[in-house]
Structure 1
Amino acid sequence: MTIPTMANIKGFIFDLDGTLVTSQLDFNYLRGVLQCPPEQDILRFISALSTQEQTRANKVVEDYELQDAHNGVWIEGAEQLIRTLTQRQLPVAIVTRNSKQATALKLANNQLFFDLILTREDAPPKPDPSALLHIAQRWKIPVTELAYVGDYLYDIQAAKNAGMLAYLYAPDTQPDYAQQADWIFSRFADLNALVSPD
C-alpha cells in the first residue's frame, strides 16, 4: 500500500463517531437491549421490524446515541486537519449512521466547518453509497477525486461502492478488513502532513 498523493483529491468526506469525535457506543450492548442477533447490522435489523416495534427500537437507539453525544470530544489531530482543509478551500462533509440530533450535539459549535452533513435520516445508511454519491453530485466533483475517511468496514465498503478512495483511520491495531482500504493511517497528523506538506 503506497502513500497517497493529494494532488488529485478535490474534497474529503468523513465518518463522525470514532473518526472525528470520540464515541463510547457499545453495539453488542445495544444488540442485547434490542434482542438483535449477534453480528447483525442494528439498523438493518430495525428496518425489518413492524412499524410499532421500529418506533420503540429507534427510540432506544436514539436515547443511547444522545447519551454518548454529550461526552464526545474531537479525536487528537482531527480538528486541526479539518481546519487545514478549510484553509485550503477543499470542501469537507460528514456522512454518518448517527442520528441528526446526536450529530448536532457532537459537533456543537463546529458545524460551520462542513459544507454538508448527512445522517441516517437524510440517506440510506452505509455501506449504501447514496449519501456519498449525493455529495459528489452537489459538489460537481468526480467520485474518483474524492476520499471518504472512516474507522470501520462499512466506511470502506461505502467508499468502494461509490467509486471513491477509502482511507481507514486505525489508531490501535489494524482490523482484518484494513487491507480493503486504499490507505491506512493511525494519527491525524499523518493525514494532515499529506494535505499540508509545506
Structure 2
Amino acid sequence: MKKYKGIIFDLDGTLLDTIEDLTDSVNDVMQLYHFPQHDTKKCKMMVGNGFRKLITRALPEERQKDEQFIDEVLAQFAKAYHKRYLNKTVPYEGILQMVNELHKNGIQTAVNSNKRSDYTEALVNKFFAQTPMVAVYGERESKGIPKKPDPAAALEIADKMKLSPAEILYIGDSETDMKTGQNAGMDTIGVAWGFRGAEELKANHATYIAENPEDILKYIL
C-alpha cells in the first residue's frame, strides 16, 4: 500500500520557473525610482514570502522601513508584473509529465503558494489545466489565512483531500516550504532545481531531496 496519497506543491521555483518575469518586474520599478537593479541570482533569494516582502527586500536598506513608500512601490510592482507575468514563465523541464503521471496513478495534488492568489490561479490554469487540483491557494491573509510557513493552508488542503498529514508529501524549493510541511506534520521533498538549491533544503531537514521531477515519482509511486 502506498504511504503517500497526496502532494502539495509550492509554485514558484518548484513547478514553474517564474524568476525572469519577477526580476524584470522588480527592475522596472527599481528603474522608475532610480534605485540599483538586481540580477536573477539575487532575486531568487528575495522571493518566497509574498510580493510585499519581495519589494521590501529589493529596496535600498534606508527605505525598507518606510511602510507608506513600500505601499507605493508595491502598487507600481503590481502593474509591472501584471504586464510581464506570462512573458518568460515556463514549467521546469519534466514537470508536466511528472504531474500527469501522478494524476494517472490516483495521487491527489494541490498548490499552496505565498504568491498573490490571482496570479497563482492564473498560472496554474494556464499550465496545468489538464490536471485536476484539489485546491489552488495563493496568499489569503485578507481572509484570515496566514502565509507559509504557517500550516493552516496545508492542513486545509489535507482536509479537502480527506487524508492525514502523514499521507501527504509537501514539496517546495525553500526553507519556508520545508518548515510549512514540518509544521503541518507532513514529510517534505526539497527540489534542488529551484530558487534556493539543495544546501538550504538539507539544512532545513527536507525528508527527501529531488534532483529532477522524475525523482518525485520514485518517492511516491
1:188 aligns with 2:204: no
Distance 1:111 1:73 in 2: 14
- The match for 1:78 among 74, 81, 95 is 95
Match of 1:167 in 2: 189
RMSD: 3.2
1:100 aligns with 2:117: yes
Structure 1 residue 44: Cα displacement: 5.9
CA distances 1:65-109 after superposition (whole Å, capped 9, x unpaired): 432343211111111111011111211000011112222332315
Assess if the C-alpha contact under 8 Å between 2:191 and 2:209 holds in 1. Answer: yes
When normalised by structure 1's length, the TM-score is: 0.77
1:63 aligns with 2:79: yes
In structure 2, relative to structure 1, the CA distance for the partners of 1:176 and 1:85 (3 Å cut) is closer
Secondary structure of 2:193's counterpart equals coil
Secondary structure of 2:114's counterpart equals coil
Structure 1 residue 55: Cα displacement: 5.0
1:118 aligns with 2:137: yes
Structure 1 residue 126: Cα displacement: 1.0
Secondary structure of 1:167's counterpart equals strand
Distance 1:164 1:152 in 2: 15
Distance 2:206 2:80 in 1: 30
Gaps of 5+ in 2: 36-41, 57-64
User: Which range moves more in the overlay, 54-63 or 165-174?
Assistant: 54-63
- AA aligned opposite 1:157: K
Match of 2:18 in 1: 23
When normalised by structure 2's length, the TM-score is: 0.70
Secondary structure of 1:147's counterpart equals strand
Distance 1:143 1:185 in 2: 20
Assess if the C-alpha contact under 8 Å between 2:134 and 2:161 holds in 1. Answer: no
How many residue pairs end up in the alignment?
185
